Amino acid sequence: MTQRLSSRNTGWRLLQWMIPVFGFLSLTGCALFGPDYESPKTEAPDQWTSKDRYARIGGTPLPEMAWWQKLGDPVLDDLVKRTLINNNNVQAAIGNVFKARAILEQIQMRWVPKVDAGAGFISTDHEINQITNSSLPYAGSFTAGFIPNYELNILQQLRSLEQAEANIDVTMAAKNAVRLAVISQVVGSYLGLQEERYRLELQRNLVDALDEIVQKYTTAHLEGLISAYVLREYQLQLANAQANVPVIEYNIVRFANTLHALLNENPGPVKPGRPFMEMPYKGIISANVPSSVLKNRPDVLAAEQNVRQSNAGIGVQTSFFFPTINLTGPVGQGSTSLSNLFNSPTSYWQYSGGFQMPIVNLGQFGAIKSAKAQYYSDFYNYQQTVRDAFASVDTDLSAHQKYTDSLDQMLMFFETTSQRLDNEAVRHQEGLVPYPSVLNLRVTKDQAGIQTAQTKYNQMMSIVRLYQDLGGGYAVNNNEDVHDLGDGHRFGDLF
């Protein structure tokens, strides 16, 4: 009993000695176990250099804006919704978030002592004499219990928690970046699919018009009315138009299969939605001030959290020079004889405590330098990420305005050509113009329609790129759906 009290007093005196030590370390501070984190200072421009007069300030925060719904296509809305749930890359990114959270939980549990189970057999001196000097049966008592073991470097624990929390933010930003990319891929592929479907219709009309011209001009050439050179020019146009048909058909298959791959589905057709040329192309962009990019873009957020994580890493490496507390003691009992185990004079380990800290560990200085180098690298990676973000958004704003202006002109040209064709068709019925003139206008109209469709695709893709660079839409329905693993269990069942 005296030894137990002595052990307790020794442990208490040890803790009394260590408390002031750690109090001193906490006061002397931050410089001893790594720098406090400060968000990198970045000067955001007051306004974009490139003006986009078609952009309007929107009230909904960009990450929460389902901007693709402004196109008014239910098929597209359904594709985006299902892809965000079923896409393998999104699910893999969610798995990384779960992993980061598990790492944080593991670090948090370091505050809780480890408990080991123990069992043994205790014999008294009388029992030993019986065994050695007589033929009496072997006798003794069985004991069992639990031994907690607590080892903790407080400063290392605090900085490790900070590092793990930053790691969660990094994986969350990475997941949002995947969602943002997937949204852009789905919308871009669907717009490409719809444009190719429309262009295929125009291309076939162009082939029909050129084929009819070639037939009539062949007859005219045989009658000596036109030269072989004129006929050859139309034959070349027909061959070129015919060659483009299988390319467009291939693009339709390619875009459809891309959508199915994003959906985690096998190849197949995609249901057509709103006709491509009926989709609105103005009033889609919601512009924000440049500083909003720093809050919205997942890659910028991830880059900053990498800086925070590496800053905490300096503290983790520095903390190896600080004391580590070691405490061990018994808890509970597994039999009526357990108290004999803990009261035994030989149980020197039952109440022990102490601390240890390195005196000479030159290699740790290299680890600290490595952590500082990582911070240096992450800091400038963040700066470059921000600069790239500003540059890409400003470029996208310029592209959106220029492509919109170009599309306005192409639509005007297409409408004018269509009106001319209608007028010439009426005049031909009145016998005022020959039929070849009508056919030539049909060719011009179809060619103008194809060019207009391609211009509209470029203009709408500028919308897709702009929203991706602004960080738009990734937070829509961001509920981290967890999938069935295929064996009847959900991922959460593994925990």
* Domain boundary assignment for the chain: 2-480
pLDDT band at 334 (very low <50, low <70, confident <90, very high): very low
Q: Are 52 and 398 in contact (CB under 8 A)?
A: yes
When pLDDT is averaged across residues 455-476 and rounded to a whole number, the result is 92
Q: How far apart are CA 416 and CA 420, in angstroms?
A: 6
Give the residue with greater pLDDT, 271 vs 11: 271
pLDDT for residue 1 is more than 60: no
* Closest-CA residue to 172 (of 312, 309, 291): 309
Q: How far apart are CA 18 and CA 9, in angstroms?
A: 14
pLDDT for residue 248 is more than 80: yes
pLDDT for residue 30 is more than 80: no
When pLDDT is averaged across residues 152-176 and rounded to a whole number, the result is 78
Backbone angles phi, psi at 56, to 5 degrees: -125, 145
Q: Which two tokens stand for residue 233?
A: 């020019």
- pLDDT of 348 reads 36
Mean pLDDT of the chain: 77
- Return the bridge partners of 148, or none: 115
- Classify burial at 296, counting beta carbons within 10 Å of its beta carbon; exposed 0-12, middle 13-18, buried 19 or more: buried
- 141-152 vs 324-328, strand pairing mode: antiparallel
Q: How far apart are CA 412 and CA 417, in angstroms?
A: 9
Q: Long-range contacts made by residues 218-224, C-beta under 8 angstroms, separation at least 24?
A: none
Q: Are 141 and 340 in contact (CB under 8 A)?
A: yes
Q: Give the CA dihedral 310, 315, 318, 321, nearest 10 degrees.
A: -150
- pLDDT of 274 reads 94
pLDDT for residue 147 is more than 50: yes
Quick one: which H or E segment has residue 6?
A: helix 2-28
Which residues, 6+ apart, have CB-to-CB distance to 133 below 8 Å? none
Q: Are 461 and 276 in contact (CB under 8 A)?
A: no
Quick one: which H or E segment has residue 192?
A: helix 154-222
pLDDT for residue 149 is more than 50: yes
Q: How far apart are CA 46 and CA 54, in angstroms?
A: 19
Q: Are 347 and 341 in contact (CB under 8 A)?
A: yes
Q: How far apart are CA 469 and CA 391, in angstroms?
A: 10
* Closest-CA residue to 84 (of 489, 484, 478): 478
Q: Which two tokens stand for residue 393?
A: 């958004």
pLDDT digits (tens, 9 = 90+) for 421-441: 999 888 888 888 888 888 889
Q: Which of 259-273, 312-326, 345-359 has the lowest mean pLDDT?
A: 345-359
2-480: CATH homologous superfamily?
A: Outer membrane efflux proteins (OEP) (1.20.1600.10)
What angle is formed at CA 473 by the lines to CA 467 and CA 479, rounded to 5 degrees? 160
Q: Give the CA dihedral 241, 246, 250, 252, nearest 10 degrees.
A: 60
Which residues, 6+ apart, have CB-to-CB distance to 25 below 8 Å? 32, 33, 155, 322
pLDDT digits (tens, 9 = 90+) for 121-145: 555 555 455 555 555 554 556 665 6
Angle between helix 154-222 and helix 74-86 axes, rounded to 10 deg: 140
Angle between helix 154-222 and helix 228-262 axes, rounded to 10 deg: 150
pLDDT band at 354 (very low <50, low <70, confident <90, very high): low
Helix, strand, or coil (residue 346): coil
State what percent of residues in the chain have pLDDT above 90.
Answer: 31
- 56-57 vs 286-287, strand pairing mode: parallel
* Closest-CA residue to 104 (of 165, 47, 53, 180): 165
Q: Which of 100-109, 166-175, 239-248, 301-310 has the lowest mean pLDDT?
A: 100-109
DSSP 8-state symbol, 33:
S
Helix, strand, or coil (residue 52): coil
Q: How far apart are CA 339 and CA 335, in angstroms?
A: 8
* Closest-CA residue to 397 (of 244, 296, 280, 284): 284
pLDDT for residue 449 is more than 90: yes
pLDDT for residue 163 is more than 70: yes
When pLDDT is averaged across residues 429-455 and rounded to a whole number, the result is 90
Beta strands in 317-435 (DSSP E): 324-328, 352-356
DSSP 8-state symbol, 466:
H
Quick one: which H or E segment has residue 17?
A: helix 2-28
- pLDDT of 491 reads 54
